[in-house]
Structure 1
Amino acid sequence: MMRAALFVPIFFLLMATANAAPIRKTVEPADLVNLKGVSGAQISPDGASVVYVVDAGDSSSLWVVTTDRKSPARTIAAGDGSETSPRWSPDGQTIAFLSSRANPHAADARFRFSVANADDRIDFHAKSGGDKDSMESDAKPGRQIWIVAATGGEATPLTNISGNVRNFKWSRDGRFLAFTRKDQETRAEVRSREQKQDQVVVDRVLKYSRLWIYDLSTREARLLTKGDTNVVDYDWSPDGTHIAATVSATPRTDDVENRLSVMTFSTESGKVDRTLPGYASERMIRWSPDGRALAFIQLAPTTDTGIPVLFDLKSGSKIVVGAGIPMGVGDMVWNEDGKTLTSLVLRGATYSLARIDAASGAVTDLGILEGAADKVTVSRDSRKAAFVEETPQHPGEVHVFSGSVARPLTDTNPQVASWNLGTQQALSWKSSKDGRSIHGVLLLPPNYDRTKRYKTIVHLHGGPVGAWTLGFHASWYNWGLVAASHGYVVLLPNPRGSSGQGPDFSAANDRDWGNAEFQDILDGVDLLITRNIADPDRLAIGGWSYGGFLTAWVVTHTDRFKAAVAGAAMTDLFGMATTTDIAPSFLDRYFGPLVSNRALYDAHSPARFLENCRTPTLVLDGEEDARVPISQGEALFNGLRFIGRETQMVRYPREGHFFDEKPHQQDSLERMLAWYDRHLGE
């Protein structure tokens, strides 16, 4: 009887445990850096399937999922290296992609690949042609174009050229593939390197990105562009006789980022037959199906703002998309009717899928997204669109949009369902400076208690023309989610200078970095204090890149914050302007010519105000950062250290502006959390 009596409560205890809510896991830095990445979603012409990339860190693979969700996702290309950039053929029967896998057919006489019209560079299986002959070589190829049937099977290589094939696109009739590749070493350069005579005169040896055209019937790649022509992005004309491209005069980063021209080339001769006025952004260029117009992002004369435009090639007229509307327009894709385009649009902190009228530039929302998305592709009938969207509760997954709703098709990181994430919401407030509307995102910790005030971190985005949106804020430099999971309230403000409210708002920090945004940020903090969300005695701040600059500016102009983390922070704008890889144009557009505006550069440099800093500051930098050289972080760290302020600097070997190595990503996250915990307490 005693055994029976014991059985009853134990039985009900087990039942209660089984029915209890699952225990949620606090998100740790290791969890973030081990997430698989989803990217490159491309919808098939008939809208029935989407091909996409899954990146596991040390390798990536290609997957296909049906848009009706009746079949599970399946792998179609997985090697021992990198499989990326899938592109459906125009008939939807095959998928071309880039792969770093070894080519088992390279030594097979039946595998044909030849190069024509090349210079005296090292190319594979080249034959005589053009101005000079290219020669056979033992050089090894990098990423190449491969092809696989849409139904699956063995993939076969198309190209076998030295170096890495980059951006490639099908011609609309499916007979050709265009691709870009950087110049390879000449034989003279190889001899100099082997003889240790490889000193470089700056700006003398430049490796251009060239445009090539590959003929699928002859298996020959022909060099199309030569001379001072560095091709960044491009698109085929509908009839295949021309290519429109964004082009810089040199491959220097400053020219690529700040001085891109839009040109059209003959695909037969490679000659430029038209150059459009003004400069473009590198992000995209799209030729309309009827051949009449080009869609691209034009660079504003001042600041780093992009203006979406439709350029009529016949009349030379230009339409600004969404003119006068406070929003940001992303990637634009022509619909097959040639009268409309599909685009992702950002308003404040919220994305929507939208339709653009080509005749007027008017923008009409098709549906609001739950989170953030980037590039979009559309089916031939324009009834379905596919993109990778991240939501507040899940990292990026393939979504299909039809009607007015986006539906997820994949679940690549199922472990996230067990994470203790908290909640987030879009937020807005008025700037006390001039009444402008400022938008942002608020992350609340799990089990948020309205009767309590919380330790709060202000996390500042990069750019300056960037923006926080609703989404999955979980990466080594976008760490709002992990901080919230550890009990913090996190405010993600979009002060003036951000995107999402139109070009005028993005340009509102012109010649006024730091000072322009300062009050917008503090007003957001004050809103949280007024609403009894933030504890005014436990405030912290941090950011990366331009967010690092703003962090350094804020802590040298107020002592309200108890801790700061400044990553890749600009601190001395004069030094930045003379050492960054985007000098001189980037800062010149915001502050004017360097020499004649030295006082203005100094007036907006946090390093000039270090004596005002009372906030313990952690400085994080990559030793190989060309964008914001490590000397900028050293100026902040050493300047604070020399005057006795609490500070610490961590240098990450081999890392550039954004970290690639997982141990470094994890370490930076752990140090960030430990720094805030130490100075804000429980």
Structure 2
Amino acid sequence: MATPFNSLDDYIALPRTEGLALSPDGTRAVLTIATLKKDGTGYERALWAVPADGSAGASRLTRSAKGESSPAFTASGDVLFASARPDGDEDGEASQIWILPVGGGEARPVTAVAGGVDGIAAVAAASDRVIVSAGLLPGADGALEEHAKLFGDRKEHKVAAILHETYPVRFWDHDLGPAEQHLLALDLGDLTEPVGATRADEKDEKAKKDKKPEYPASLPRPRDLTPRPGHPTGFPAAVVAPDGSRVVAMQVVRQGNDERMRLVSIDTATGELTPVADEPGYDVELPAVSHDGSTIAYSRTAEQNPVTPTQMELWVAAIDGSGARRVAAEWDRWPSSIQFTHDDSALVVTADQDGRGPIFRIPLDGSPVEQVTDDDFTYSSVNVDRVTGDLVALRANWMVPLHAVRVRRDGEVVVLASPVPLPEVPASMVEVETTAADGARVRGWLLLPESEAPAPLLLWIHGGPLNSWNEWSWRWNPQLAVARGYAVLLPDPALSTGYGLDFIARGWNAWGAAPYTDLMSITDAVVARPDIDETRTAAMGGSFGGYMANWVAGHTDRFRAIVTHASLWALDQFGPTTDFTPYWRAIMTDEGIAANSPHRFVSDIRTPMLVVHGDRDYRVPIGEGLRLWAELNEHFAAPDGSTPHRFLYFPDENHWVLKPQHAVVWYDTVFAFLAQHVHGEEWARPNRLG
């Protein structure tokens, strides 16, 4: 069967749903849709409106060269979004917040912060107050005009240097600083619509020529609620009371070179900041506020330690932090999102569970936790319909990418209209499991091709390691391998989420123990199937999955090929060079680091390896890939310098390899390497590698 997954060019051209927002009256949803640019080198994003009741019809709301994303609704039904589209005197390089009136008309900007804004942090449900996050230079002391002056000076002189006075300095794929993230409040009622040029506009033009920028008078002036964040990512998440009077935000608190999260309440009129959930030794995250504005909910997690993983607890309290109490104390899942039901009687929570990601309802009166959805999907971007109590969300699994649905209060799921057709896939999906030596149940998904002959098997190991193979990924897509005749095993070994704390604890401080034996046990079970060719197997993984691929390479020769992407190789080296060392040092002992480092077993490797790494990977720095490659060559290079191993290097990619054409090169190289060693074909260097 021919599908878009047979051609990498067709695959990267598939349009994708990336985000969702629900209107205040619950009647329409706005989707963020990404489509491939004409030159194939990136993706353009636009907003589309669809009926939220499942009826037909989808209409495009926005169209610009820069694209639009991160939609949110105002209390009156206008659509807010982020875009770097130019407007008049702006150069279009920085993203600002725009508003599209519900009654029709062109979108217009509502912010003009030098360097742009990071996004919409929160929107009040019953007022015109909006909270945005933006990076401001510390020398400006929160003053927008001074920030613009400093920002313009750095830009004019092409200064990229950053002076760090605290730790950390990097996060995942970007440098931190010199700007610090602030929360800014603005009132949309202050947005004016001048006719033609005004004296204020003329004044702005003169100020720019004199390099004394002034904030545009026609826009609502942002009020800095956090003038001294003291940290590059100061306030990572925020929610706002319905009347806009108060913001409850996560705040990063420094602890030497470490940090923790607390919740603070900020008066949006005065900027007064008050801690509401602040406990040394605990991280407090995922804030939510009730629809009546009286109650907050959040997660509370004890600091990690190398002895045992800690539980992510659910708590509620009054909005001022008083009367805090834990709910669902016996529930051992880790929430990934928290909201209140439309009547504030319960929490709506998403969490990994058994290879899926259901929606749960957690009553606040102590009644048992209820599972709202009971299918093979993972749910995200959950929105509560304040009128009916239904939920509108995105969902996906390994057979279907993200798409919008309505979840009725009785659990019925209705698929919403979409401008993006769901692609036809080449695989069938079955659930597989085995019993580990210690009696634990180990399960996963097996994707199978349409074939009468037994299929070669790819063991595909997830990253994290606190993660689960439960949702479609455009970056790691096994459907591409299935289209080329492979069966793909997506297992959840020890350390995976969705199986309880004890399952995670089986691999804690011992990554090379139960996680490895779980992977081998479920592989044994799968290769025993008649539709699998046990003589043709390979293993691959990225990040922690790359770590496991390296560990597998040093401990068994059962696989014909191993692909290791963005992988941890020498754990003593990785710890001090990753983007946040304290967490790493908290979850493993020195003995655990030494015992579980794959580099110690390099001389035992017998399987050809494809090493892949991006130079801008800050989570798993390039030194891991370089050292792995050097040590493979030290041990296995022939006298003429040749080696069965390969190293695919991306100078301008990070942890994931995101550019469409680089993704094509990645898959081309992986499949060529597998064809050589799994199928015995001649090595064929991908054309675009020269």
The structure 1 residue matched to 2:583, chosen from 568, 583, 586, is: 586
Contact map agreement 2:442 2:518 (CA 8 A) in 1: yes
The structure 2 residue matched to 1:530, chosen from 513, 528, 531, is: 528
Contact map agreement 1:555 1:613 (CA 8 A) in 2: yes
Partner of 2:544: 546
| Partner SS state of residue 299, structure 2 | strand
Partner of 2:201: none
Partner of 1:464: 465
Structure 1 residue 200, shift from structure 2 partner = 4.2
- Cα separation, 2, equivalents of 1:361 and 1:332: 17
| Partner SS state of residue 561, structure 1 | coil
Partner of 1:354: 360
Structure 1 residue 177, shift from structure 2 partner = 0.7
The structure 1 residue matched to 2:43, chosen from 58, 66, 72, is: 58
Residue 95 of structure 1 pairs with residue 79 of structure 2? yes
Structure 1 residues 520 and 239: alpha-carbon distance in aligned structure 2, compared to 1, 3 A threshold: same
| TM-score, with structure 1 as normaliser | 0.83
| Partner SS state of residue 588, structure 1 | helix
- Cα separation, 2, equivalents of 1:154 and 1:650: 46
- Cα separation, 1, equivalents of 2:159 and 2:650: 31
Contact map agreement 2:603 2:635 (CA 8 A) in 1: yes
Partner of 1:600: 592
The structure 2 residue matched to 1:510, chosen from 487, 508, 527, is: 508
Q: Please, which moves more after superposition, 421-430 or 553-562?
A: 421-430
- Cα separation, 2, equivalents of 1:481 and 1:196: 44
- Cα separation, 2, equivalents of 1:80 and 1:159: 19
User: Residue deviations 1:269-293, cap 9 Å, x none?
Assistant: 3232124225777973211234443
Structure 1 residues 312 and 191: alpha-carbon distance in aligned structure 2, compared to 1, 3 A threshold: closer
Contact map agreement 2:317 2:324 (CA 8 A) in 1: yes
Structure 1 residue 375, shift from structure 2 partner = 2.0
Partner of 1:145: 97
- Cα separation, 1, equivalents of 2:405 and 2:566: 33
Structure 1 residues 199 and 67: alpha-carbon distance in aligned structure 2, compared to 1, 3 A threshold: closer
Partner of 1:637: 629
The structure 1 residue matched to 2:21, chosen from 13, 17, 42, is: 42
Partner of 1:130: none
- Cα separation, 1, equivalents of 2:255 and 2:65: 31
Structure 1 residues 189 and 100: alpha-carbon distance in aligned structure 2, compared to 1, 3 A threshold: closer
Partner of 1:155: 107
Structure 1 residue 239, shift from structure 2 partner = 4.1
Residue 210 of structure 1 pairs with residue 182 of structure 2? yes
Partner of 1:430: 435
- The 5-angstrom pairing of residues 636-675 of structure 1 reads 636-644=628-636, 646-675=644-673
- Cα separation, 2, equivalents of 1:326 and 1:493: 21
| Partner SS state of residue 367, structure 1 | coil
Structure 1 residues 637 and 325: alpha-carbon distance in aligned structure 2, compared to 1, 3 A threshold: same
| Partner SS state of residue 463, structure 1 | coil
| Partner SS state of residue 259, structure 1 | strand
Structure 1 residue 326, shift from structure 2 partner = 5.0
- The 5-angstrom pairing of residues 567-578 of structure 1 reads 567-578=565-576
Partner of 1:337: 343
Contact map agreement 2:51 2:417 (CA 8 A) in 1: no
Partner of 1:626: 618
Contact map agreement 1:42 1:86 (CA 8 A) in 2: yes
The structure 2 residue matched to 1:500, chosen from 492, 498, 501, is: 498
- Cα separation, 2, equivalents of 1:380 and 1:337: 8
The structure 2 residue matched to 1:82, chosen from 64, 67, 83, is: 67
Residue 307 of structure 1 pairs with residue 321 of structure 2? no
Partner of 2:605: 613
- Cα separation, 1, equivalents of 2:157 and 2:102: 48
Partner of 1:240: 244
Task: Give 5+ residue unaligned stretches, structure 2.
Answer: 36-41, 140-146, 167-176, 191-219, 637-642, 681-690
Partner of 1:453: 454
Q: Please, which moves more after superposition, 29-38 or 213-222?
A: 29-38
Q: Please, which moves more after superposition, 225-234 or 343-352?
A: 343-352
Structure 1 residue 342, shift from structure 2 partner = 1.8
The structure 1 residue matched to 2:125, chosen from 162, 172, 180, is: 172
**Partner letter of residue 401 of structure 1?**
V
User: Residue deviations 1:177-219, cap 9 Å, x none?
Assistant: 1111011475567657766887544336642100100022232
Task: Give 5+ residue unaligned stretches, structure 1.
Answer: 1-21, 108-138
- Cα separation, 2, equivalents of 1:239 and 1:376: 22
Structure 1 residues 279 and 340: alpha-carbon distance in aligned structure 2, compared to 1, 3 A threshold: farther
- Cα separation, 2, equivalents of 1:463 and 1:609: 22
Contact map agreement 1:172 1:238 (CA 8 A) in 2: yes
Structure 1 residue 23, shift from structure 2 partner = 5.6
| Partner SS state of residue 664, structure 1 | helix
Structure 1 residues 393 and 603: alpha-carbon distance in aligned structure 2, compared to 1, 3 A threshold: closer
- Cα separation, 2, equivalents of 1:163 and 1:405: 45
Residue 444 of structure 1 pairs with residue 445 of structure 2? no
Structure 1 residue 612, shift from structure 2 partner = 1.1
RMSD: 2.8
User: Residue deviations 1:290-309, cap 9 Å, x none?
Assistant: 44432223344226867141
- The 5-angstrom pairing of residues 2-13 of structure 1 reads none
Structure 1 residues 250 and 214: alpha-carbon distance in aligned structure 2, compared to 1, 3 A threshold: farther
- Cα separation, 2, equivalents of 1:145 and 1:193: 21
- Cα separation, 2, equivalents of 1:339 and 1:355: 10
- Cα separation, 1, equivalents of 2:459 and 2:85: 43
Structure 1 residue 98, shift from structure 2 partner = 1.2
Structure 1 residues 382 and 429: alpha-carbon distance in aligned structure 2, compared to 1, 3 A threshold: farther
**Partner letter of residue 295 of structure 1?**
A
Q: Please, which moves more after superposition, 368-377 or 312-321?
A: 312-321
Structure 1 residue 536, shift from structure 2 partner = 2.7
| Partner SS state of residue 450, structure 2 | coil
- Cα separation, 1, equivalents of 2:419 and 2:285: 27
Contact map agreement 1:319 1:361 (CA 8 A) in 2: no
Structure 1 residue 620, shift from structure 2 partner = 0.5
User: Residue deviations 1:155-196, cap 9 Å, x none?
Assistant: 122112212222322123222111110114755676577668
Structure 1 residues 465 and 415: alpha-carbon distance in aligned structure 2, compared to 1, 3 A threshold: closer
* Count of residue pairs brought into register by the alignment: 609
**Partner letter of residue 413 of structure 2?**
A
- Cα separation, 2, equivalents of 1:63 and 1:191: 38
Partner of 1:416: 423
| Partner SS state of residue 145, structure 1 | strand
**Partner letter of residue 614 of structure 1?**
R
| Partner SS state of residue 273, structure 1 | strand
**Partner letter of residue 178 of structure 1?**
I
| TM-score, with structure 2 as normaliser | 0.82
Q: Please, which moves more after superposition, 262-271 or 625-634?
A: 262-271
- Cα separation, 1, equivalents of 2:281 and 2:96: 31
Residue 400 of structure 1 pairs with residue 406 of structure 2? yes
Contact map agreement 1:36 1:412 (CA 8 A) in 2: no
Contact map agreement 1:233 1:245 (CA 8 A) in 2: yes
Structure 1 residues 472 and 289: alpha-carbon distance in aligned structure 2, compared to 1, 3 A threshold: closer
- Cα separation, 2, equivalents of 1:324 and 1:426: 27
Partner of 2:676: 678
Partner of 1:15: none
- Cα separation, 2, equivalents of 1:82 and 1:378: 27
Structure 1 residues 41 and 664: alpha-carbon distance in aligned structure 2, compared to 1, 3 A threshold: same
- Cα separation, 1, equivalents of 2:447 and 2:390: 32
Contact map agreement 2:406 2:416 (CA 8 A) in 1: yes
